[in-house]
Amino acid sequence: MAEKRDFLCVDDFSRQEIENLLELAVKMRKGKPQPLLAGKTLGMLFFNPSLRTRTSFEVAMYQLGGHCLDISARSDLYELEPEEGTVMDGSAAEHLKDAAQVLSRYLDGLAVRCLPERRDYQKERTDPVIRGYARYASRPVINMESCMGHPCQAVADLLTMRDKALSLEGRRLTLTWVNHPEPQSMAVPNSVLLAAALFGMKVTLAHPMGYELDPEIMEKAGKYAAESGGKLDVVHDIQDAVKGAEFVYAKSWGSIKLWEDKERERLMSRSHQEWIVDRAAMDRTDRAWFMHPLPVRRNVAVTDDVLDGDRSIVYDQAENRLHLQKALLVTLLA
């Protein structure tokens, strides 16, 4: 058996490997489905709700001739212990190590979604559950979204932007925080930022003070931008951020500083209601395409006229999840 590959973070793959994924995704989008994964089974382990991710992976495996097994962490799993060397005399009935190794005997690959509980940022930023499965499973593990990353979303977003711009190098992307009534995951902005930097885009990251992304992610993104000929700027005014943009990517994310205090963060978020992508903001761009990974709070994060307008490509993003994931599954499981 060939050495397994996991896909936990955008930069688990080189730029050339991501280019190969994009090319394969385009071919699959154009052609008829082929049973390239006949007889293969992907286990999908969800600790959190999902619509696009769950559906797109299931359809992808079906179109490739394989099978998806949907495993709900709440109803199908015992409570798991992720820490090594723990005396298991508490509520956890099974160690993650044992679950991962048993599932590896049944499945050809495992995809996991496990979002943070916002209790301890320094611990949760290590993505202990997903990285635990990757450590102990002998089959490929795919990150379907975690505390720190959503690589499938970000690479599908590269595909969507490339459909509009052909080459991504030098294209101007504004990745902006937008309002939301509840604290949101940093997974999407982390991954989109890294992916755009890898591909040489000129990225403006916009957010209010207090919503800084993880310093390690920012350091990596700066390094990748420098290596690829791209650029990374950070601004704290949405109107300045969108000026001249060719793509406006809106997404809310939570505050690291208020990670364990949701009520204070809700209050802070309410003070930034001007952080919304509306027609006035889009008029400051260079006829930018509007992007959002969905689900989206209409008229909180973005106004209806922008979301439903002819420069919105949010449904293209959602569709491209299917094609990108087919390419990824063939790459990892075939």
Q: What is the pLDDT of residue 268?
A: 93
Q: Of 125, 126, 128, which Cα lies nearest the Cα of 112?
A: 128
Does the domain spanning 10-149+320-333 belong to CATH 3.40.50.1370?
Answer: yes
Q: Read off the pLDDT of each residue in 294-305 and give the average, rounded to a whole number.
A: 98
Fold of 154-317: Rossmann fold (3.40.50)
Helix, strand, coil % over all residues of the chain, rounded to 5: 45, 15, 40
Long-range contacts of 4-7 (CB under 8 A, 24+ apart): 4/137, 4/138, 4/139, 4/140, 4/332, 5/140, 5/331, 5/332, 6/134, 6/140, 6/141, 6/142, 7/140, 7/141, 7/142, 7/143, 7/151, 7/152, 7/328, 7/332
- Domain(s) of CATH 3.40.50.1370: residues in the chain: 10-149+320-333, 154-317
- Check pLDDT > 60 for residue 231: yes
Point out which residues pair with 111 in neighbouring strands.
44, 142
pLDDT, position 83: 86
Cα 241 from Cα 247, distance rounded (Å): 11
- Helix (H/G/I), strand (E/B), else coil: 205: strand
pLDDT at 325 over 60: yes
204-229: pLDDT as tens digits: 999 999 999 999 999 999 999 999 99
Q: Which are the contacts of 273, defined by CB distance < 8 A and separation ≥ 6?
A: 179
Q: What is the pTM of this model?
A: 0.96
Report residue 225 as tokens.
């931008």
Q: At CA 248, angle to CA 310 and CA 155, rounded to 5?
A: 100
Mean pLDDT rounded to a whole number for the chain = 95
Instruction: Report residue 302's pLDDT band, with 50, 70 and 90 as the boundaries.
Output: very high
- pLDDT bin (cut points 50, 70, 90) of residue 69 is very high
In tens, the pLDDT along 151-205 reads 999 999 999 999 999 899 999 999 999 999 999 999 999 999 999 999 999 999 9
For residues 107-116, give the mean pLDDT. Answer: 97
**Contact criterion met (CB below 8 Å) for 145 and 10:** no
With 70 as the cut, is the pLDDT of residue 148 above it?
yes
Is 74 a residue whose pLDDT tops 80?
A: no
pLDDT at position 2 is 67
Dihedrals φ, ψ of 86, to 5°? -75, 140
Sheet of 67-72: strand order equals 67-72, 41-46, 109-113, 141-143
pLDDT > 90: what percent of the chain?
89
The phi, psi pair for 155, rounded to 5°, reads: -70, -35
The pLDDT tens digits of the residues spanning 305-316 come to 999 999 999 999
Coil, helix or strand for 279? helix
Of residues 287 and 75, more confidently modeled: 287
Query: With the C-alpha atoms ordered 177, 288, 220, 132, is the resulting torsion angle positive or negative?
Result: positive
Distance CA 142, CA 295 (A): 21
Q: What is the mean pLDDT of residues 263-273?
A: 92
Q: What is the pLDDT of residues 10-65, one digit of tens each?
A: 999 999 999 999 999 999 999 999 999 999 999 999 999 899 999 999 999 999 99
pLDDT at site 3: 85
Residue 74 corresponds to which amino acid?
R
* pLDDT on residue 27: 97
pLDDT tens by residue, 116-132: 999 999 999 999 999 99
Q: Are 332 and 70 in contact (CB under 8 A)?
A: no
